[in-house]
Amino acid sequence: MHPAPSALRRAAAAATIALLATAVGCAPQPDDKASGGSSSSAGTTCAKGKLATQTSGKLTIATDEPAYEPWFKDDKPANGEGFESAVAYAVAKQLGYDRGAVVWQSVPFNKAFAPGVKTFDFDINQVSISAERKKAVDFSSGYYDVRQAVVALKGSKAAKATGIADLKSLKLGAQVGTTSLNYISDVVKPSQEAAAFSKNDQAISALKNGQVDAIVVDLPTAFYVTAAQVTNAKIVGQFENQSGTPEQFGLVLDKGSDLTSCVTSAVDALRKDGTLAKLEKQWLSDAVDAPVLK
């Protein structure tokens, strides 16, 4: 027995509808959480206050603990004082999040750019942008151009150095995983292995105690160390940048993060409108010229 023509038509129509439903179900669908995507229109993907953040409606920002001056003040990242705290809130505002929507999280320096899924939306912690680190994480565009500097106790042999050659025989130290440590090994190339410390405060203590002859830190930190932490120390000098482009600190994001392009656009806007320069002048005004070590 064969189905009647009308039954065949009904069956065909039903099959067509089923196929269309399946096709629609498998096709890419608009996603409200797609805001913050890295490649599509910024008008829709970077909708202010509606990014695909760790917590809806909140922006989670990470940094190390303790949070050092002049980058943060009083070891309180959330107070908005210090260069990086101020930059973080300025970026948050550009993204559409007011101070009440910002959540701070403590993440060790090395862990911030280590491989693995992140628990923050972005990290701000004097992390230099590098090709090697980009293998594991994303970076925003640079928010600060930085140079590395040498700090030594006044009256010491290290304090009398006027060039890189004078540093080669010294015991130097820096925080592990930093550009500062790289400058010791790649630029100074000392005759004895550099001391690597897990925290900057450990390097500073080693300098105070005479365990190292000098330490290498970024220039603004060097000014703070000599002004407030080791008052009998001096800035011996700063290194020249080792490439055609300056070393820059960037905001760290998860590898392939949907937020990367949005955060980069925010940083670029703050550079273009003069906000970054204003904040640098306000919080890092002491980081002026220091002797250049060649």
pLDDT tens readout for residues 99-109: 999 999 999 99
In angstroms, the CA 190 to CA 172 distance is: 8
Residue 97: partners with Cβ closer than 8 Å, 6 or more residues away: 49, 58, 59
Tokens 């948050």, residue located: 92
pLDDT tens profile 152-211? 999 999 999 999 999 999 999 999 999 999 999 999 999 999 999 999 999 999 999 999
Q: What's the rounded Cα separation, in Å, for the pair 214 and 71?
A: 22
Distance CA 282, CA 280 (A): 5
* 172-175 and 214-218 beta bridge pairing: parallel
Q: Helix count (H) and strand count (E) of the chain?
A: 9, 11
The two beta strands, 247-254 and 137-146, are antiparallel
Q: What is the pLDDT of residues 237-285, one digit of tens each?
A: 999 877 667 899 999 999 999 999 999 999 999 999 999 999 999 998 7
pTM of the full structure: 0.78
pLDDT(1) > 70: no
Please report the pLDDT score of residue 5 as a whole number: 39
* pLDDT surpassing 90 at residue 26: no
Stated as kind and residue range, the H or E segment containing 96 is none
Instruction: Please return the burial class of 59, using the count of CB atoms within 10 Å of its CB with bins 0-12, 13-18 and 19+.
Output: buried
- Report CA-CA distances (Å) from 88 to 40, 72, 79, 166, 289: 25, 11, 11, 39, 26
- 28-48: buried (b, 16+ CB within 10 Å) or exposed (e) per residue? eeeeeebbbbeeeeeeebbbe
| pLDDT at residue 31 in the model | 36
